[in-house]
Amino acid sequence: MVTYRILVRELREIIGGTQIPAYIPMSFTADQNNIFLGELQNFRNLKFGKRLNNYGSLSFEIPANDPKASSLVGLRKYGVWVYRVEDDVSTLVWSGEQAMREGNLDNEGNNWVRIYCYDWLELLNHRFTGVLKEFDGIDAGQIAWTLIEETQADSYGDLFITEGEIEATMDRDRKYYNQNIMEAIINLSDVLSGFDFEITDDMVFNVKTLIGEDKSDSILLEYGFNINRARIIEDFIQPANRAIVLGEAVDEDDIQRVERNDTDLQAINKLRESVISEMDVSDVYSLQEKGDSLLRKYGTALLKLDIDLLKSSTPNITDFSLGDVIKIKIENGVYDIDEEYRVYEWEVEYDDNNVEKLSLVLGKFSL
Q: Which CATH architecture has domain 127-208?
A: 3-Layer(bab) Sandwich (3.55)
What is the per-residue DSSP string for 328-359? EEEEETTEEEEEEEEEEEEEEEE-TTS-EEEE
Helices (H), 107-240: 140-152, 181-189
**In the prediction, which pLDDT does 366 show?**
47
**In the prediction, which pLDDT does 163 show?**
98
Q: Where are the domains of the chain?
A: 2-119, 127-208, 220-235+302-363, 242-298
In the chain, % helix, strand, coil (3-state, to 5) comes to 15, 45, 40
Residues of the chain predicted below pLDDT 50: 13-34, 366-367
Global pTM reads 0.83
> Which are the contacts of 47, defined by CB distance < 8 A and separation ≥ 6?
58, 59, 60, 347, 348, 349, 350
Q: Which of 112, 184, 191, 118 is nearest to 146 (CA)?
A: 184
| Length of the chain as a residue count | 367
Render pLDDT for 178-213 as a digit per residue (tens, 0 to 9): 999 999 999 999 887 889 999 999 999 999 999 999
**In the prediction, which pLDDT does 268 show?**
96
Angle at 30 between CA 25 and CA 33, to 5 degrees: 100
The top-level CATH class assigned to 2-119 is mainly beta
Q: Which of 353, 330, 361, 284 is nearest to 49 (CA)?
A: 361
| Cα 243 from chain centroid (whole Å) | 26
d(CA 353, CA 96): 25
Render pLDDT for 120-146 as a digit per residue (tens, 0 to 9): 999 999 999 999 999 999 999 999 999
d(CA 53, CA 185): 9
d(CA 251, CA 314): 58
Q: Give yes or no for a contact between 323 and 304, defined as CB atoms under 8 angstroms apart.
A: no
**DSSP helix/strand/coil, 289:** helix
Q: Give yes or no for a contact between 15 and 35, defined as CB atoms under 8 angstroms apart.
A: no
**In the prediction, which pLDDT does 334 show?**
93
d(CA 18, CA 12): 12
**In the prediction, which pLDDT does 352 show?**
77
> Which are the contacts of 325, defined by CB distance < 8 A and separation ≥ 6?
212, 213, 214, 215, 216, 340, 341, 342, 343
**In the prediction, which pLDDT does 31 show?**
35
Q: Which of 122, 248, 124 is nearest to 177 (CA)?
A: 248
d(CA 282, CA 257): 10
**In the prediction, which pLDDT does 15 show?**
40
**In the prediction, which pLDDT does 190 show?**
85
Looking at CATH, the fold of the domain delimited by 220-235+302-363 is given as: Phage tail proteins - horseshoe like beta roll fold (2.30.300)
Q: In this structure, are strands 38-40 and 2-10 parallel, antiparallel, or unpaired?
A: antiparallel
